[in-house]
Amino acid sequence: MGKHQEDHFHYKSWLVIVGLTVIALRTNAQTRLSLDQALALARENNQWNKIAYQEQLVSIADYNDSRNAILPQITMGAFYQRFSKVTLFSDGLWDSRSITRIPGPNSAGTSVEASMNLYTGGRQKTQIQEQKQRSDLAALNLLEQESSISLQVCVQYFELVNSIEQQKLVGEQLARAETRLNNIRVLYKNTRVTRNDVLRSEVVLANVQLLAEKVMNDRRIIANRLKLLLNKKDEEDIVPTDSARIALPITMPPSADQYGSAGSSFLVRKAMIAEEISQTRLTLVRSNYRPTLALFGAYNLSYPNNLFFPPVDQAYSVGFVGLRVQYQLSSLYHNKYKESAATVRIQIAKQAEQNVADNVTDQITALYIKYQESLTRIAVAKRTIEQTEDNYRIVSTRYYNQLALLIDLLDADNLFQESKYSLVRAQVDALNYYHQLRFAQGTL
């Protein structure tokens, strides 16, 4: 190979190494976050969390408004009128004359009216109860939204950790490929290996360089996703301080009190509230069968006095109180199908709740199995790294002593690298499954 090609490979390797070094140096000046800090920022700053919080405030306002409905309805008003002269007609419309309205052209008044429901067949109480349930549902939606964002933060956080670990591993692989290529070139000059070994080593180095560039780009993409979740729009990159080697809980059986329980799941709790709302709607429909009782009253100050005939040119005031009883006879036939529909909706809500609980239980069981599998993979990967490292060292020694082929050395290097990748991936997967389990249980 010519000197130009050698310089080209050295230049590309130098660029990749410099790129990795620059990222490492920039890391020291960037935002360093632990997982707990990232979760706290997401709960406080994430836009979707803010929207869910505003929706909860709306539901609280609706609930308070339904409670205010039991307070008396009070109306106050006033009026003034001035009448024109009264035109009187005789003999059809041919003979007419005008007179002043008795006792005068002016008329005015003011009044205060009030009414209060004493009994509505339980309708108002039921409406308040329904708004309370909807407020509870909005609060649960907020918790679910925050938990969902927290899960996304956990996933992106540890994917970023995985990307950083991959950068380190690729940097080590790049260094090995550089050293191996230099050694093989020396062997080639001494005619101890063929040119095919040199070319194959150059191809391997080029592939590692491309992989290093891909990993750098992946890290930038993942960091931007995490920044979006945290609503951080500055140019600083996020550097996780927690690693993929965080201590995980010891394996435990999926008992009813642990991973096997779906009762605290957000989906199950929402389905339960939906069933309660259906029950409340049935109670509301049945309240239409009952009468209503209301207290009402008014006080008026008017001019002129129209209580007598002819009207008297004087102001007067009068007030009254009373009870009003009403019963909708039409409810006997209007409510028939409404009640039937409400009863069916309750059955549907119960079936939906059971289906949701079964699905959540299945999801929790599946996640628990995958979590256990990841823990096993971690243990296996740790043992595999030791074995593949020893294998790579042995095959490397055999190759440079002309006792093994280059393909054997490259396979050994790939196995060694893959075992380290597998350990990091298994650790990240275990962390992701653990947090998915917590989300499925409604405890994240």
> What are the tens digits of pLDDT across the range 309-331?
888 888 889 898 999 998 888 88
Is the pLDDT at 259 greater than 50? The verdict is no
Please list, in sequence order, all residues whose beta carbon lies within 8 angstroms of the beta carbon of residue 238, skipping any fewer than 6 positions away.
30, 31, 33, 38, 160, 223, 226, 227, 230, 232
Q: 113-129 pLDDT, tens per residue?
A: 999 888 888 888 999 99
Q: What pTM was computed for the model?
A: 0.80
pLDDT at 123: 87
Domain 72-119+292-326 part of CATH 2.20.200: yes
Sign of the dihedral defined by the CA atoms of residues 217, 223, 225, 228, in that order: negative
Mean pLDDT of 245-274: 68
Mean pLDDT of 25-45: 78
Structure tokens at 140: 């649960």
pLDDT band at residue 256 under the 50/70/90 scheme: very low
pLDDT at 1: 47
What are the extents of the domains in the chain? 3-71+120-291+327-441, 72-119+292-326
Q: Please name every residue paired with 109 in a beta bridge, in sequence order, or none if there are none.
A: 79, 302
Q: What percent of the chain has pLDDT over 70?
A: 89
What's the order of all strands across the beta sheet hosting 106-119?
Answer: 73-82, 106-119, 292-303, 316-326
Lowest mean pLDDT among 1-10, 177-186, 349-358, 380-389: 1-10
pLDDT at 332: 83
pLDDT at 221: 92
pLDDT band at residue 11 under the 50/70/90 scheme: very low
Superfamily of domain 3-71+120-291+327-441: Outer membrane efflux proteins (OEP) (1.20.1600.10)
pLDDT band at residue 282 under the 50/70/90 scheme: very high
